[in-house]
Amino acid sequence: MTNHPDDGRLQTYLDGELSFDGLEAVERHLLSCEPCRERVDALREREARVKAALAQLDRQMDAEGREVEPEAALWRVRQARARRRSATRRRRLATAATVVLLLGAGAAAAMPGSPLRSWIAGDDEPVRVETAEVETEGAALSFQLRDGEGRVEIVEPGDEVELQLRLAQRAEVHVAAPPGASFETGPGWARITGGHRGALRVELPMDARRASVTVDQRSRVELREGVLEVDGREVDPRQAADDEGWISLPRAPDGGDGGRDEGEDHLEQAPEEA
């Protein structure tokens, strides 16, 4: 046999990246070629040595007493993201205000459908992690309470999204969103962004120690130890609900003291900084 495979091909063979035909050819060659078998052994040995050497670098972190803490890291990512979105909105508002002043285009900005209007409103790109089926059919999810508490954040619901709430004898929070919505979830919380048209239904466990619903960071619903408050006012679910137990929430809070800053909730439930 004269056509010995080169190191690259043998490496590809060792890494399991050869096509079926290529694999068969190399193995057939190795059966009859002692020197190439020795080269494969040498490559394998070198690979193990490199792997062991690189693993040494991880000891540095161990020595510093550092550990990878995904929960804390995830919290920091979400905080950074929230800060950035907030800063982007502020920037857009400031820039838009300047443009309106300079151009005297306040009236144009107020017109429905005006690009300037949506710009001023700060329509960020939606957070979309997995939205394909949601885009076409709508979707639903359930999540468990965390330490008896749960939170649903509704972000920038579409103008034709109707918010509905029901208390249920169940252990988890259930959310059904209309088409066009995207979901994010974590321990004890879910965030639903967007949505085109239809009912966005939230079912909270009656027995939750605490459960809340916010819309665009404004607290709309609080359930504490069986006491339900909507927009800061205590509500009797039996009187406020329809025959199926659904309570319709007005688009905007109708007064009351419901506009608490959502940032407090994040801080309360987030893991401590490393």
- The residues that touch another protein, with contacts defined as CB under 8 A, are 6-12, 15, 17, 43, 46-47, 49-51, 53-54, 56-66, 68, 70, 73-74, 76-77, 80-81, 84, 125-132, 183-186
Minimum CB–partner distance for residue 37 and another protein (Å): 16
Q: Which is nearer to another protein, 127 or 240 (CB)?
A: 127
Q: Which is nearer to another protein, 54 or 227 (CB)?
A: 54
Q: Which is nearer to another protein, 7 or 147 (CB)?
A: 7
Q: Which is nearer to another protein, 69 or 162 (CB)?
A: 69
Minimum CB–partner distance for residue 129 and another protein (Å): 4
Minimum CB–partner distance for residue 211 and another protein (Å): 19
Alpha carbon distance 155, 76 (integer Å): 20
Number of H helices, E strands in the chain: 9, 12
Minimum CB–partner distance for residue 56 and another protein (Å): 5
* Residue 227 CB partners (closer than 8 Å, separation 6+): 234
Alpha carbon distance 195, 156 (integer Å): 8
Q: Which is nearer to another protein, 98 or 136 (CB)?
A: 136
Rg (CA), the chain: 28
Q: Which amino acid is at 272?
A: E
Q: Over 160-198, what HEC string results?
A: EEEEEEEEECCCEEEEEECCCEEEEEECCEEEEEECCEE
